[in-house]
Amino acid sequence: MARELIVDVAGLTKRFGPREVLSGVDLSIRRGEFVALLGRSGSGKSTLLKILAGLDTDVHGQVRVDGTVSVAFQQPRLLPWRRVWRNVVLGLGERSRDRALAERALAEVRLAGHADAWPRTLSGGEAQRVSLARALVREPGLLLLDEPFGALDALTRLAMHRLVEDLWREHEPGVLLVTHDVDEALLLADRVLVLGEQGRLISEYPLAPARPRRLQDHFGVRADILD
Ligand code: ADP
Ligand code: MG
């Protein structure tokens, strides 16, 4: 049975002054779908994510997004003067002091024991996992990932792929992953979209559901090596 539609965008056009960055974009994402978005620098990927996140409403066309949306960016943007656990539950209102909630989310991203650490003591991969915990704690129906692994070294990136895949299977949000990395898109996503130079979604590659989806299947690596 088809899952519920959580993103329904039709004829979306976005201009910055005279420049049309997105031109008539149509996009739908169902809950539990993992969609990758490829495109050159400056093609409008981040702009599209910001619009889906509700951070930019100055647009033409239809933008419907249902439920809670979380975003994780390339830079984790942690507040340096808050301990890790406070960063995770930041902005959650009455739950912003819920340490147990933060610790559960940290355990999910394999950072149990780092609750009291200061952000500056974390590696890039750890900081990015805190950013994922912060996204997950909101129990999003839609998770927007804007090149979240772009600044990480190759092995850390592999570990992050595995983590994101595990979290996606566990929580089944819809995911829109922006990436420069074609292999990453093909590995993780159900569907790959390409944002072209003219601000149009030019291609859509549905991927065979039967292909191996686990990183272990691809590389034959022991799961614990990457933890
Ligand atoms: P991508 O994420 O694909 O690299 P962006 O969505 O960040 O691209 O940007 C798309 C285009 O829109 C770029 O040319 C960028 O310079 C321009 N742009 C992005 N944000 C703004 C803004 N706030 N004001 C003016 N131009 C912008
Ligand atoms: Mg961008």
**pLDDT tens, 28-46?**
999 999 999 999 889 999 9
Q: Which of these ranges, 20-24, 52-56, 174-178, 222-226, has the smallest mean pLDDT? A: 222-226
For the chain, the residue count is 227
pLDDT score of 52 = 97
Place of tokens 């979604």: 201
Structure tokens at 160: 């992050």
Query: Among candidates 33, 36, 69, which has minimal Cα distance to 50?
Result: 69
The model's confidence at residue 5, banded by pLDDT at 50, 70 and 90, is very high
Structure tokens at 69: 């949306």
Please tell me the number of Cα atoms within 13 Å of 192 on its side-chain side. Answer: 17
**How far apart (Å, rounded) are the C-alpha atoms in residues 108 and 136?**
9
- Contact (CB, 8 A) for 207 and 182: no
Choose one of 16, 179, 198 to mutate for the ligand 1 pocket test, by most ligand atoms within 8 angstroms of C-beta: 16
pLDDT, the chain, mean: 88
Structure tokens at 224: 């614990």
Cβ-defined contacts of 208-215 (< 8 Å, 24+): 213/165, 214/165, 215/158, 215/161, 215/162, 215/165, 215/187
pLDDT score of 217 = 53
Q: Give the global pTM.
A: 0.89
Choose one of 14, 21, 146 to mutate for the ligand 1 pocket test, by most ligand atoms within 8 angstroms of C-beta: 21
